[in-house]
Amino acid sequence: MASYKIPVIAGDGIGPEVIAEGKKVVEAAGEVYGYDVEWIDLPHGCDHYLKTGETISEDTLKELSNYRAIYLGAVGDERKVKTGILEQGILLKLRFYFDQYINLRPVKLLDGVETPIKNKTSKDIDFYVVRENTEDFYAGLGGRGVKGLSHQHLKLKRELYSVKFDLDILTDSDEIAYQIGVISREGARRIIDYSFQLARNRKKHLSSVDKANVMTDIYGLWREVFQETAKGYPDVKTDFNFVDAVTMWFVKNPEFFDVVVAPNMFGDIITDLGAMLQGGLGLAPGGNINPEGTSMFEPMGGSAPKYKGLNKVNPIAAIWAGALMMEHLGEGEAANAIVKAIETSLRERKVRTYDLGGTSKTSEVGSDIARIVRQQGRI
Ligand code: IPM
Ligand code: MN
């Protein structure tokens, strides 16, 4: 029998509640599909930080590199720790440390869920956003102070856009702040290449997102790499979309999309919109993938501290993330069975949380899906 050891960072707020349901369902699928899971629970998050002063240590990261997948709930609680510390110190740290350059986010309206988009059904909303996960404005290059520049200068110097930043004009004055977006040729190539492969196995249509009309340097390079990479995939149809336009098309014509590849920050923004198309953050999973290293699977939503302990929020995103994780580990059949069970539960409409108009508890949803996984048996 296959056996998996999976480190778990349930984290803060509602993280532990939704991860508990994910574990329940992944284990139920193990009974049917013949695998065993040993969860390795880690304490990282708000309380651990307050107690020890550590977000996640180098030793823990090294230890985690022995595993192929991490299961993550959510980290951060603004009421206790200043926003950004745990997001950067744990979530982004893990993504960067393990070079999880693929952030795979399905935008799929499951049967039995309503979308706020009028007249659209599950046939119309079924695509992937592949978000680059290591570069762009997330690279962490920034600071305060640019020599010769103040608010007044910025107003006067509208030509700033054509000024090439030279690092020696940076100072530590507090008048101006800057954040540098970085795209590397190799960073763009690997994510675009992954997206072409994904599209090739689907409807053979890949849409690229950028803002190459304004940020010509970084997104110009992105486009260039896209065009070069496209030559290797003549069977895949392509198009370029400015990020502002893509948000409009997501709402107006979601059926147009098959696979969408986006730089990190635009990918972040458009996947929250994608989540709404499919019924909300409670239904949106994501995978942070390094095909050769340690990957990480998580619900897209945050820790929602005000709901902590209420057993109220929707665990489906976390359960679905568990399915993505098992698929990544080679349990494709179990993963499909979990998604099918989620859909059955949603279609039956008996057990649903408040966000879907129901009154069920988090744990009731997990138990219902686990029951269906067992009942439907091998499919
Ligand atoms: C996400 C989140 C994170 C991000 C935050 C919490 C740092 O919004 O996973 O989409 O910006 O990537
Ligand atoms: Mn986000």
Query: For residue range 184-219, what is the model confidence (pLDDT) as tens digits?
Result: 999 999 999 999 999 999 999 999 999 999 999 999
CA-closest residue to ligand 1 atom 11? 268
Percent of the chain with pLDDT over 70: 96
Please tell me what DSSP assigns to residue 117: S
**Quick one: which atom of ligand 1 is closest to the CA of 302?**
6
Nearest ligand to residue 272 Cα: 2
99 φ/ψ sector (left φ>0, alpha ψ -120 to 50, else beta): left
Q: Which of 7-11, 113-117, 168-172 has the lowest mean pLDDT?
A: 168-172
In the predicted model, what is the mean pLDDT of residues 3-19? 98
Atom of ligand 1 nearest to the CA of 272: 10
> Which of 78, 81, 87 has most ligand 1 atoms within 8 Å of its beta carbon, as the pocket-test mutant?
87
Distance 323 CA to ligand 1 centre (A): 20
3-state secondary structure at position 328: helix
What is the Å distance from ligand 1's center to 21 Cα? 22
Q: Identify the bridge partners of residue 6 per DSSP, sorted by sequence position.
A: 39
CA 302 – ligand 1 centroid, Å: 8
277 and 126 in contact (C-beta within 8 Å)? no
Distance CA 376, CA 111 (A): 17
Q: What average pLDDT does the segment 267-288 reach? A: 98
Beta strand pairing call for 259-262 and 2-11: unpaired
Q: Measure Cα distances from 37 to 4, 217, 348 in Å.
A: 5, 47, 29
Q: Is the ipTM of this complex over 0.95?
A: yes
Residue 160 has pLDDT above 60, yes or no: no
Phi-psi region of 53 (alpha: psi -120 to 50; beta: other; left: phi over 0): left
Nearest to 308 by CA among 17, 9, 8: 17
1-101+282-379: in CATH 3.40.718.10? yes
Ligand nearest to the CA of 74: 1
Strands (E) across the chain are located at 2-11, 35-42, 69-74, 102-108, 126-132, 136-144, 177-182, 205-210, 237-242, 259-262, 285-289, 295-299
Q: With bands split at pLDDT 50, 70 and 90, how would you rate the model's confidence at 150?
A: confident
Length of the chain (residues): 379
Strand partners, 104: 130, 287
User: Does residue 166 carry a pLDDT above 90?
Assistant: no
Q: What is the pLDDT of residue 158?
A: 53
Domain ranges of the chain: 1-101+282-379
**Mean pLDDT along residues 336-351:** 97
Report phi then psi at 21, rounded to 5: -70, -40
In sequence order, what E strands does 166-293 have? Answer: 177-182, 205-210, 237-242, 259-262, 285-289
Residue 253, pLDDT above cutoff 60? yes
Residue 161 has pLDDT above 60, yes or no: no
* DSSP secondary structure code for residue 355 in this structure: G
**How many of the other CB atoms lie within 10 Å of CB of 145?**
16
Ligand 1-lining residues (CB < 6 angstroms): 87, 91-92, 268, 300
* pLDDT computed for residue 224 by the predictor: 98
pLDDT the model gives residue 31: 97
Question: Can you tell me the distance from the alpha carbon of 352 to that of 331, in angstroms, rounded to the nearest whole number?
Answer: 27
Q: How far is the CA of 158 from the centre of ligand 1 (A)?
A: 32
Is pLDDT above 70 for 300? Answer: yes
Q: Whose CA is nearest to atom 7 of ligand 1?
A: 87
CA-proximal residue: ligand 1, atom 8 (nearest): 268
Q: What is the DSSP letter of 146?
A: B
Can you give the pLDDT at residue 243? 98
Start-to-end Cα distance in the chain: 19
Q: Is the pLDDT of residue 137 over 60?
A: yes
Res 154 pLDDT > 70: no
| 281 Cα to the center of ligand 1, angstroms | 12
pLDDT digits (tens, 9 = 90+) for 17-48: 999 999 999 999 999 999 999 999 999 999 99
Q: How confident is the model at residue 240 (pLDDT cuts 50, 70, 90)?
A: very high
> Residue 275 pLDDT more than 80?
yes
| pLDDT at 174 (0 to 100) | 83
